[in-house]
Amino acid sequence: MTEKIKYCIARLGLTRLKQIAYMSVMLIAVLLVLAFSVNKITVNDGSRVQTLYSLKSQPTELLKMATLSSQSYKVTEVTEKGNKIDISLSYTLPVFVTLGNNTQEISVLKGSTVSSAITDAGITLDEHDIVNLPLDSIIEDTTYIDVVDINYVTEKSLLRIPYTSKTVYSNKTSVKSITTAGQEGVKEVVKLTKMVNGVAESTETVSETIVKEAVQQVVTIGTKKKVETVVTANNKVAGTISVLSPSTPIELDANGNPVTYKQHITVQATAYTAAPGKKGASGVVVKPGHVAVNTNIFPYGTKFYIKSSDGRYIYGYAVAADTGGFVATQPKNFDLYFSSEAECTAFGRRNIEVYVLY
């Protein structure tokens, strides 16, 4: 072999060795780069831990590489430290929460409580609400939660109290009038309404407070008979027989009867007369208007107003001034003085209405 050929062979071998060495260095460099670029991933789903290696770093991409028992999960924690990525997750379960006519499906972490599921559904409970499951029970499977929302609404209102009316009678007047005007009262009524899922279920009255008392209306009816005539010394009723004048005016109603008197009786009466100037048993000179009575019942000087029961005679104002033998047999009778025998005969015996004045 010539020297030239030997040289070429030596040169060629050296070149290949250099190439191999270079490639080895490059390979080592690549391996080193890869070694420092590969991420070590641990996936903990609560029941087991998986270890993965990947150049990727996004948890969503990394979890696609993991073997999971369910695709319904939530990533609860991701920790990165250098090329080490730790991913923790929990599986979720479907929970159906019903409030009234509305049912919503939410996903909750397995192991969550019913209370937290209700909160996740956006529902806030109070002490009146009712839930079909214990709030602290653990959700391990598909769960159906029924919530009954109960609220109590207080309503205050002002109501009218109608006034009542009463009637009283008075002998001091002859007219009917409202002496006390009725006024309506006011009361505050507090009602409590139970609302179930937004619908009123029941209402009860919890209190009634009188704000203003009603005033009872009083209607007064006068029993005093209306005065039509006043008998005085200078104003006598037409046709009156008595010539005496009362010291106090006598008020007569529309029927010609005294408005004010002490006693009213109906008795039988006769008539008598006497010579002019004759005195009665009381010592006074008798004249029309003086009457004879039983003095044990009506003492001398007793004042009367007398009219016949049949209305034909108005004897008028009279005074007890005499007595007579009739008292022995007819003690309640009256004997009326007339001016003449003819008047006595015309009067005869008849019933009279006697009003004892004073």
Which superfamily, per CATH, for 227-356? RlpA-like domain (2.40.40.10)
- Compute the CA torsion angle 60, 64, 68, 70 (nearest 10 deg): 70
Classify domain 159-194+206-222 by CATH number: 2.20.230.10
CA end-to-end distance (rounded Å), the chain: 190
| Count, residues in the chain | 358
> What does each of the 358 residues of the chain score in pLDDT, given as a tens digit?
566 655 555 555 557 777 776 676 666 644 544 445 789 999 998 788 999 898 888 888 888 888 887 888 889 899 999 889 999 988 899 999 999 999 999 999 888 999 999 999 999 999 999 999 999 999 999 999 999 999 999 999 999 999 999 999 988 777 788 989 999 999 999 999 999 999 999 999 999 999 999 999 999 988 876 655 555 544 456 679 999 999 888 888 888 899 889 999 999 999 999 999 999 999 999 999 999 999 999 999 999 999 999 989 999 999 999 999 999 999 999 999 999 999 999 999 999 999 999 8
Query: Which residues are CB-neighbours of 306 under 8 A, at least 6 positions away?
Result: 242, 269, 291, 315, 316, 318, 334, 336, 352, 353, 354, 355
Six-digit token string for 42:
């641990």
- Angle of CA points 183, 187, 188, to nearest 5°: 155
Reported pTM: 0.45
Domain spans of the chain, in order of start: 92-151, 159-194+206-222, 227-356
Fold (topology level) of 92-151: Ubiquitin-like (UB roll) (3.10.20)
